[in-house]
Structure 1
Amino acid sequence: MNSYKAPLNDLSFIFNHLLDQEQLAQLSGLEDLSVDLYESILDEAGKFATNILDPINASGDREGLKINQGEVTTPKGFKEAYQQFVQAGWNNISLDPEFGGQGLPYILSTAVNEIMMGANKSFVMCSGLTIGAIEAISHAASDELKQKYLPKLVSGEWGGTMNLTEPGAGSDVGALKTKAIEQADGSYRIHGQKIFITFGEHDFTDNIIHLVLARLPDAPEGVRGISLFLVPKFLVNEDGSLGERNDVRCVSIEHKLGIHASPTCVMAYGDDEGAIGYLVGEKNKGLAAMFVMMNMARLTVGMEGVALTERSYQAALDYARERVQGVDVETAKPVAIIEHADVRRMLLTMKAQVEAMRSLSLFIAQAQDMSFRHADMNVRKHQQGLVDLLIPVFKAWATETALKTTTLGIQVHGGLGFIEETGVAQYLRDAVISVIYEGTTGIQAADLVGRKIVKDQGKNLAVLIGLMKETLAETQASAQLTDIAKEFAAAIQVLEDNSQLIAAQFMQSTKQALSISVPYLMLVGIVVGAWQHAKSASKAEELLASPSENTAFLTAKIETARFYHRVILSEIYGLAHTVRSAGDVITEFKDSYFGE
């Protein structure tokens, strides 16, 4: 079983050469930060991930969770690791200093998040949900609630959750039935049940702060009648100490395909007198407040795809170098399987995909930093537009790609990959849920087409394509990158053509457009990945013009980009054919044709 190693070389390349450090250094609160500091923090994150989180990853998967009278016990070593995690400050890197956060940029917390998830996805999900709760409270709650709950959430002393899904509603949040009854003192009594609540109950923290969507008695139907409530596991006294237990219980935990060390809970609110909750934001506008939490959570879930692809790639690469099997087709001598052509193809596919996804994740995080911190309002708006456009693409493309890459990781191991003792099956099992979290791929695709392309009239997409064409010009100027430039230019044209086509389709038949929206989203993701590789290749070639100790790394950057453009990018032509021609054959297929 391999040991996790943080991808520090690739992260260093991105931070030093692909991110706009000059602009980042001018942002409010980031003036004194440097790449050297970022790299130092990432190095320490790598040590923590390798030494503390990685050793309990496989054991946590095997041991799983225990529940006794509503109390959940996490696997051996997890609670202790959490205490070390928060003491080291890994939980609040980019949170507001006003409540105890470190105020560092999203680019840094995003990179740290990948490292930690690569070592132990189940463990990191607790802090990820807490950060989401903090963001929603910070955005919409009253000052009183902020002062009372944020300091201990930010410190990691308390955990946080998001409660949307119900047994009868699923992704149709507007159909939820959890009720909230207003009390004379301004609080509310919450009654209902929520399912699939990540870390809804655990032993990491003394208190858990649940954010719960519920409906007031006189609320309008659908999503316009949903309010958001803060419901603590233990009530909090005026002096900040813990009071009596609230009427909220974990009634069971799910038995899942993967993430066995992350409790997925069924939560009951108000089985007795009613769980006490406090309104967050305005009445009937809870979904907007929760969406702040959900939007950044989608970036985090996309990072799960990056992290598990990296972990699977490392294991496959180590095994391929060690496993001697068969002979070389030219020399007839026994060789390690990395010398076999198809194993090499699989490893290159994994490497090319994870580098594209990682680079895109940090581009989005950089845009998020600029949208929050830049002095110019127009720049903030411009950058937020890029974030809004790319998050559904990244979330869906990265998590769908992870299913393919972690499967390749198993295949590189051959039959041993199917055996749990090698550990690589866990990466696939842990990756499966990511395509569902925070909205399935279909939901992300509907958001991309309906809101980010059609409703926006393609304005942010035009900005993105403009950035791609700037990179294209750089690659076209290089005699060494002409093959990459040729493939990339054709891909940009395919993206432009299919974006216009699906927007027109949406206006004519929304159902037909949505039926091919997932192929369209994957096309966008693959082209955006090509853009990231083209940027990397251009920068690597520039750096190779000067003497460098990283010659092999930089050359590998160019050759990996070449592989992506020649092999992976070709998938867009099949997807484009689907976008052009498959809508009616899907929508006109009658229910009875599926069989009895």
Structure 2
Amino acid sequence: MFSYVPPIDDYRFLLTQVLGFDRAMAETGKDVDADLAAAVLEEAGRMCAERLHPINRHGDEEGSRLIDGEVHTPEGFADAWRDFVAAGWPSLAAAPEYGGQGLPFILQLWLDEMLAAANMSFGLFPGLTRGACEAIAAHADDSLKATYLSRMVSGEWTGAMALTESGAGTDLALLKAKAVPDADGGYAVTGQKIFISSGDHDFGGNIIHLVLARLPDAPAGVKGISLFLVPKYLPDADGNFTVRNAMSVGALEKKMGIHAQPTCVMNYDGATGWLVGEPHRGLAAMFTMMNAERLMVGIQGLGIAGAAYQQAAGYAKERLQGRSADGTREPVAIIEHADVRRMLLNIRAFVEGARALGGWTALQLDRAHHHEDAAERAKADGLVALLTPVVKAAFTDYGFESAVQAQQVFGGHGYIREWGMEQYVRDARIAQIYEGTNGVQAMDLVGRKLPMAGGAVVEGFFALVADDLGAAGASGIAVSTREALALLREVTASLRGAGVEAAGAAAADYLRLFALVSMGWMWTRMAAAEGDTPLHDAKRAVADFFAQRMLPQVRGLAGSIAAGEATIMALAADAF
């Protein structure tokens, strides 16, 4: 296996020549320039490459274990967490009022990419903690914020989201966990949750669970769900968190991948907790952290694809097999074969296009939080909401497909443990499922995001893309993306007012079509960047590949959408 190389040169290129980072920082009042940002990313990449990547394979092989009710993470993980915390990485983009560094979210997003590439199981610990912090900061009372946030932001304590039950996954209306008020102003939380990533570990410190449960007077359905903060340890008489709460790990899930990540069955047996937000308004608080996590999960797909590409490209340049096209009898490296190049270019075109689109979305998130103009904040917030399901679903779908293609480059060697490719495939698969399956994301895009503000948000996005494409002239990628955007606009108009079955039939194809156009937009920007370095030459070559080999897929997707739901719904349910 080759060493992981953080894509710092690509980040620097995007910051300085594609995304207008310095201008964006001036508009949001952040005193950070591209040079500082690149330096931070370089240091983060060093941590990922030198500290986390070397324990990734061992972590997969050893896995987390439950021994006498206590979770033991693989050897080296607890020490790596302490190093990660000591270097300040958990607080990178967190608010300064809670001890965070307040750096731009784009740095956090690209750190998440490198974490997923180097060690996806490890990256879930800080990612889930950050999501819990955002929910607490947005919805909890001042007392809970003062008690928990600074220690979670620093990484001294970690967080977990306890939402799913065996009978309540996507449909939270079926949730059964209960919370009963106690005499001290808290609640006794009782129930069992499954699939709880980072539910317990051996890093030391407290673990703060955000648990969905119902109050005794809760109405039926999703309108009766509340959110509770339930810590592993409660304060003793001196205010030190040493008293074990009435919660335990019933089992560790046996999973296809991310073996080093302790995904727990959690039992809450009258555990003490506190209400976060208003009674019966837990979904609003939950979606604060879910939306943050969905961006992180999308970037996990990107990170795995980028790491798999590095391994496959390195292997393809060394592996001798077959003969060259000119008839030479000497064996050649498989990078010379067209089909191998096709697979590698498929992956690279996705990775670099998605990296740019993710970075643009991250800049919009900062704009939504920090721009001085309220109208600009609202506009940016709408764009982030629109793109969140696209980032989550498209990046993880393409991420898994990229891992499989990278494995294919290795042939038989990709199927055995030695090169690590089969781990990428196994690890990547979960990202399409958790934090809302990709089918749910597609339905969210079509059913909720397209109608936002009467369609003004999506039309505003299309106008923004069209302006950039118009300014790009007659380059091949610009022309191809303009044609694809026109088709996307036609399909979008055809879906307005679609019924549930029609929307469901179209949703997955529509989301992929939307993603291809969005990445084509980013490739147009990258191809237009001025310069004659090898990096610029490579960008233009990959942009041409994207234009000619990937963007044409939009026509087939549009055709499938136009076919409607008839053939999908025609077969009787009992005939399956």
TM over 0.5, shorter chain: yes
Q: What is the alpha-carbon distance in structure 2 between the residues aligned to residue 156 and residue 240 of structure 1?
A: 19
- Give the whole-Å Cα distance in 2 for the aligned partners of 1:339 and 1:207: 53
Listed as ranges, the matches of 1:18-29 within 5 Å are 18-29=18-29
Counterpart of 2:3, as a letter, is S
Q: Is 1:552 paired with 2:540?
A: no
Matches of 1:138 and 1:237, distance apart in 2: 24
Which of 488, 492, 497 aligns to 2:485? It is: 492
| Structure-2 residue corresponding to 1:372 | 369
How big is each residue's C-alpha offset from its partner over 1:142-167, in whole Å with a ceiling of 9 and x where there is no partner? 00000011111111111100111001
Q: 8 Å contact 1:29–1:103 — kept in the other structure?
A: no
Query: How far, CA to CA, are the matches of 2:570 and 2:456 in structure 1?
Result: 32
1:225 equivalent to 2:224? Answer yes
Contact conserved, 2:477 with 2:546, CA < 8 A, in 1? no
Trace 1:573-588 onto structure 2 (pairs within 5 A). Answer: 573-588=555-570
Q: Aligned ranges for residues 177-216 of structure 1 at < 5 Å?
A: 177-216=176-215
- Specify the code of the residue in structure 1 equivalent to 2:519: G
Q: Counterpart of 2:531 in structure 1: which amino acid?
A: L
Is the deviation greater in 293-302 or in 454-463? 454-463
Taking the aligned partners of 2:196 and 2:285, their CA distance within structure 1 comes to 18
- Residue aligning to 1:172: 171
Alignment of 1:106-255 (within 5 A): 106-237=105-236, 240-255=239-254
Instruction: Tell me the CA shift for residue 238 of structure 1.
Output: 7.1
Number of paired residues? 575
TM norm structure 2: 0.98
1:464 paired residue number? 461
Distance 2:575 2:203 in 1: 51
Once residues 58 and 350 of structure 2 are traced to their aligned partners in structure 1, the CA distance between those partners, rounded to angstroms, is 28
Amino acid in structure 2 at the alignment position of 1:208: I
Please list, as runs of the form range in 1=range in 2, the aligned pairs for 1:89-100 lying within 5 A after superposition.
89-100=88-99
Name 2:259's counterpart in structure 1. 260
Which residue type is aligned with residue 513 of structure 1? A
Asked if the contact 1:159–1:205 (Cα under 8 Å) also holds between the matched residues in 2, the reply is: no
Contact 1:148 1:240 in 2 (8 A): no
Q: Identity rate of aligned residues, in percent?
A: 45
- The one-letter code sitting in structure 2 at the alignment partner of 1:126 is F
> What is the rounded CA distance, in whole Å, between the counterparts of 1:240 and 1:470 in structure 2?
58
Shift in Å at residue 593 of structure 1? 2.3
Deviations 1:167-187 (A, max 9, x none): 111211121000000112210
Specify the SS of the correspondent of 1:565.
helix
Q: Give the distance between the partners of 2:239 and 2:257, measured in 1 at CA.
A: 37
Matched AA of 1:24 = A
Alignment correspondent of 1:347: 344
User: Which of these residues, 325, 330, 346, is aligned with residue 329 of structure 1?
Assistant: 325
Aligned position for 1:298:
294
Supply the AA of the counterpart residue of 1:353. F
- Segment drifting more, 185-194 vs 465-474: 465-474
Rounded Cα–Cα distance in structure 2 between residues aligned with 1:230 and 1:117: 27
Match of 1:548 in 2: none
1:501 aligned to which of 485, 494, 511: 494
SS of 1:346's partner is helix
8 Å contact kept, 2:396–2:428: yes
**Residues 295, 90 of structure 1: alpha-carbon distance in 2 compared, 3 angstrom cutoff:** same
| Contact 2:22 2:34 survives alignment (8 Å) | no
* Contact 1:475/1:534, CA 8 A, preserved across alignment: yes
Give unmatched runs, 5+ long, in structure 1.
545-550
For the 8 Å contact 1:298–1:395, the answer to whether it is kept is: yes
Q: Partner residue of 1:101? A: 100
Once the two structures are TM-superposed, the CA of residue 457 in structure 1 deviates from its matched residue by 2.6
CA shift for structure 1 position 256: 0.6
For structure 2, the 5+ residue unaligned runs are none
1:523 is aligned to 2:523: no
CA deviations on 1:324-349 (whole Å, 9 max, x unpaired) are 11110213232100001110111111
Q: Distance in 1 between matches of 2:436 and 2:90?
A: 24
Paired residue type of 2:546: Y
Deviates more, 1:406-415 or 1:235-244: 235-244
Partner in structure 2 of residue 547 of structure 1 = none
Shift of 1:588: 2.9
Aligned to 2:11: 11
**Distance in 1 between residues matched to 2:25 and 2:10, nearest whole Å:** 21
Could you tell me how far apart the structure 1 residues matched to 2:415 and 2:388 are? 33
C-alpha distance in structure 2 between counterparts of 1:475 and 1:213, whole Å: 49
Is 1:543 equivalent to 2:531 in the alignment? yes
* Distance change (3 Å), C-alpha of 1:22 and 1:421: closer
- Structure 2 counterpart of 1:570: 552
Partner of 2:312: 316
Alignment of 1:415-430 (within 5 A): 415-430=412-427
| In structure 2, distance between residues paired with 1:130 and 1:413 | 36
Q: Distance in 2 between matches of 1:461 and 1:205?
A: 46
CA distance in 1 between counterparts of 2:238 and 2:281 reads: 30
- Tell me the amino acid that sits aligned with residue 484 of structure 1: I
- Once residues 483 and 397 of structure 2 are traced to their aligned partners in structure 1, the CA distance between those partners, rounded to angstroms, is 24
Query: Separation in 2 of the partners of 1:119 and 1:257?
Result: 18
Alignment partner of 1:269: what SS?
A: strand
Q: What is aligned with 1:534?
A: 524
Name the SS for the 2:313 alignment partner.
helix
Contact 1:93/1:103 (<8 A) preserved? yes
Give the letter for the 2:376 counterpart.
V
Mapped to 2, the partners of 1:241 and 1:16 lie a distance apart of: 47
List per-residue Cα deviations over 1:255-312 (Å, max 9, x = no partner).
1110010011000001xxx110100000000110111000010000000011000000
Tell me, yes or no, if structure 1 residue 75 matches structure 2 residue 74: yes
Counterpart residue identity of residue 572, structure 2: K
| Distance (Å, rounded) in 2 between the aligned partners of 1:526 and 1:120 | 27
SS at structure 2 position matched to 1:109: helix
Equivalent residue letter for 1:437: Y
8 Å contact kept, 1:474–1:538: no
Instruction: Tell me the distance in 1 between the aligned counterparts of 2:502 and 2:33.
Output: 49
- The DSSP-based 3-state class of the residue aligned with 2:196 is strand
| Contact in 2 for aligned 1:214/1:227 (Cα 8 Å) | yes
The DSSP-based 3-state class of the residue aligned with 1:165 is coil
* Distance in structure 2 (CA, Å) of the matches to 1:262 and 1:22: 37
Distance 1:243 1:460, change over 3 A: same
